[in-house]
Amino acid sequence: MRFITLLIISLLLVIVFGCEDKTQLLFNQPAHFPNLLIPENNPLTQKKVDLGERLFGDKNLSIDSTIMCSSCHKAHLALADSLSISPGVYGRLGERNSPSLINAAYAPLINRDGGVAKLDIQALIPIEDHNEMGISILKLSKRLIQDQSYVDAFGEAFGRGPDGFTIPRALASYVRSLVDASTPYDKYLGGQKDSLSPAAQRGLHLFNSEELACSSCHSGPLLTSFEFENNGLYTDYADRGRALISLREDDVGKFRIPSLRNVALTAPYMHDGSLATLDDVIAHYASGGQSHKNKSHLLKGFSLSADQHLDLLAFLEALTSERDFTKS
């Protein structure tokens, strides 16, 4: 009997864990990208991704059922927003510009100030933020439990219902599925040299040049070093940036360097959306930025001819994904 009992338990373990292995989300991670690390307590499966995508587009995640994640991260804008500051519940405004979520899963620290240690808990911030979605995770859990289709979906994906553990991890699973390397620039890196126009190739040369030094911060295949820098946007920062987390004065005005992928779609720019166009961004860096004690030593200013300006824009536009994110 003991042997039979052990055999039954073994078979049940195979069913429970073996099925999980077979439903692993299958997507080809770009060969030139770093490895995407998946937490052991939240393996990536299609059921979790589908559930996360459903939650992402559900207004019931906000206290007044008016705001969903996709309200501020719009698919046709590479999961960013066209507003400087996106409105939340009851028309309240947040404090920072909504960034693109494409390839966001690669960031070692989450949010513009790096205040969240891992993607699996990031969603708790906007969900519970007074100005964004304004609902406690406990109240949201109770709300979702009233929907049997959600209870079933969470049960299939996690083996438990919607709660403070499973809700943010379902959303994180969806974000992890937003891996993309479908730009003309990626094709160029893969050996298709004609995928970049002559103007874009000249722009790439400028981007990597010692004079502009754009690639000093926007480096590697993800076009970011993920470091925190002060880019001289202000002489006095209302938003202290990284210093809010580190409590260090030498971190005032420092924000995580954003990826430039899909940058042509994600205007306005900077942590507060204060620069409306890419022309404005180039002009800012050409000027060398405002004087601030924490400003990066890499910002020295530069000059471009009108043709060089257009070439640089051509390269930045070649960083736009060809994938249609409006289709799941």
Per-residue pLDDT at 150:
98
Cis check: omega of the bond before 162, within 30 degrees of 0: no
Across the strands, what pairs with 217?
none
Instruction: Give residue 27's pLDDT.
Output: 67
Q: What are phi and psi of 58, to 5 degrees?
A: -110, 120
Taking CA atoms, 109 is separated from 8, 104, 258, 295, in Å, by: 43, 10, 12, 21
pLDDT of residue 19: 38
**pLDDT value of position 2:** 39
**Is 263 within 8 Å of 277 (Cβ atoms)?**
no
Is this structure's pTM higher than 0.85? yes
Burial class (CB in 10 A: 0-12, 13-18, 19+), 223: buried
84 token code pair: 């400087």
Domains of the chain: 32-176 (1.10.760.10), 184-317 (1.10.760.10)
Q: Give dist(CA 327, CA 304) in Å, integer.
A: 39
In whole angstroms, give the CA distance from residue 215 to residue 312: 13
The predicted pLDDT at position 28 comes to 74
Euclidean distance between CA atoms 229 and 289, whole angstroms:
13
The DSSP bridge pattern shows strands 228-229 and 255-256 to be antiparallel
Cβ atoms of 183 and 322 closer than 8 Å: yes
The tens place of each residue's pLDDT in the chain, 328 residues long, gives: 433 333 333 333 333 333 333 334 446 789 999 999 899 999 999 999 999 999 999 999 999 999 999 999 999 999 999 999 999 999 999 999 999 999 999 999 999 999 999 999 999 999 999 999 999 999 999 999 999 999 999 999 999 999 999 999 999 999 999 999 999 999 999 999 999 999 999 999 999 999 999 999 999 999 999 999 999 999 999 999 999 999 999 999 999 999 999 999 999 999 999 999 999 999 999 999 999 999 999 999 999 999 999 999 999 999 999 999 988 6
